[in-house]
Each structure stands twice: as C-alpha cells, then as structure tokens.
C-alpha cells in the first residue's frame, strides 16, 4: 500500500522516551507518573483523566522543556531520520500528532524535516519568569478521541492516510479512516497489537517503510 499523508506519534515512536515521564523523574515523581502514563496509553483510564493531573504535579518550567527537547533528540528511535528523509524525498505529506508538549517536540520535528505547521501537539504556557502557568486546555490532543479529530481534518480522501504509533490513542485514528500501524519497537502493548491494522516489533522505525510506501 502507498499513502499520501503519513502521521507519526512522538513519544515511544519517534523517540524512545515518554516526555512527561522524563519531566516527572527530573522532579522526583517519576514512578508515580509512569503508572499514570502507562494506564492512559493502555486505555485503562481516559487520557483527559490524567493529563491535567500530571502537569499539575510536575509544573514544568521553560528550562525543563528546553532540557526535554534535547532528550527527545538524544533518544531518537533508530531509523527515524532515514524514514523521514525517504518519505519527504517522495513528496509525502508528513505530520507528527502527539499528546506531548509542542515546545519540547518542535526541535525534534525540525531535525526530521517536518514543517512547523505539521506538528500537532499541546501548547504549554509560562509566566514571564519562565515558571509553569498552564497548558492548552481546549486541545483535542489532551483527551481521548483527539487524534481521530486531527486525522479527520487532515484526511483528504479515504485510503490515503497512515498513522504510526505505540498507544491506544493512536489506534483511535482508525475512526477517521486511517490505516494504523502499531509500533512496538520501544514499548510492546497488547492492546495496540490487537487493534492495529499491522503491528511491527523491530526496534528500528525502518520496519514501517514497507507498509507505507
């Protein structure tokens, strides 16, 4: 199959980390946060039930977001850059759709050659001194069903979109008519293995190319 619009999750798909968990570890609440993240990614609890709670506990400041941006790139998944180079060389429309924080993801997206307008994530807001203020409360990506909404807006005609991700929220893109590839190269989730149209377990993102070109 060949698709014109190809969308990737970020955490545990393009980078080996879960950004929110890294921020939590930085302030000493990593174990508590990892349990909340895992519950949301496995579909045990709605994303919106944990999103605000996690940020309220961590209260990430501007410096920590800059730090996280570096970690995303340092921990890039094997094969990610060649995959994006190949897709962009063929004129594919490539997007990143993530429930992560936009300002932390943008440097990775730019490294991969993704236009700023093709990065769909949740904005975070700071006070003038750089301390945490709030986040984009009305973002669809901070709740369940949000990725399907974003995909519906991007889908031009049936059968032209593929979505690659590791979590249950990525599988929701099927509701928008997307072909969904589960990526288990970083985290192997049974619910994703069950729901994806195809599932890959190789640690390199290159394993998905044969399914989208």
Active site residues: 9, 11
Q: Pairing state of beta strands 161-165 and 132-135?
A: unpaired
**Residue 80 has what DSSP assignment?**
H
C-alpha span between 132 and 157 (Å, rounded): 40
End-to-end Cα, the chain, rounded Å: 6
**Residue 78 has what DSSP assignment?**
T
The residues that bridge with 150 in the sheet, in sequence order, are none
**Residue 9 has what DSSP assignment?**
-
In 3D, which of 160, 202, 198 has the Cα closest to residue 184? 202
> In the chain, where does DSSP find H-type helix?
19-26, 30-41, 47-58, 62-74, 80-89, 102-111, 146-154, 168-171, 190-195, 209-212
Give the residue carrying structure tokens 């190809």.
6
**What is the dihedral sign for C-alpha 60, 45, 183, 5?**
negative
C-alpha span between 95 and 20 (Å, rounded): 21
């Amino acid at each position: 199959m060949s698709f014109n619009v190809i969308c990737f999750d970020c955490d545990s798909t393009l980078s080996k980390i879960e950004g929110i968990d890294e921020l939590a570890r930085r302030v000493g609440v990593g174990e508590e946060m990892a349990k909340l993240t895992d519950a949301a990614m496995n579909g045990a609890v709605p994303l919106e039930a944990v999103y605000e709670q996690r940020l309220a506990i961590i209260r990430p400041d501007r410096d920590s977001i800059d730090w996280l941006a570096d970690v995303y790139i340092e921990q890039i998944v094997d094969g990610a850059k060649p995959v994006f180079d190949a897709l962009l060389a063929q004129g594919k429309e490539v997007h990143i759709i993530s429930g992560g924080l936009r300002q932390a993801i943008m440097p990775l997206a730019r490294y991969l050659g993704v236009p700023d307008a093709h990065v769909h994530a949740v904005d975070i807001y700071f006070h003038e001194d750089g301390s945490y203020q709030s986040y984009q409360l009305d973002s669809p990506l901070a709740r369940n069903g949000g990725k399907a909404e974003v995909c519906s807006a991007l889908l031009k005609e049936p059968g032209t979109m593929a979505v690659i991700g590791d979590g249950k929220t990525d599988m929701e893109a099927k509701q928008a008519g997307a072909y969904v590839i589960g990526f288990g190269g970083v985290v192997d989730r049974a619910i994703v293995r069950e729901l994806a149209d195809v599932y890959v377990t190789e640690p390199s993102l290159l394993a998905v190319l044969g399914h989208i070109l």
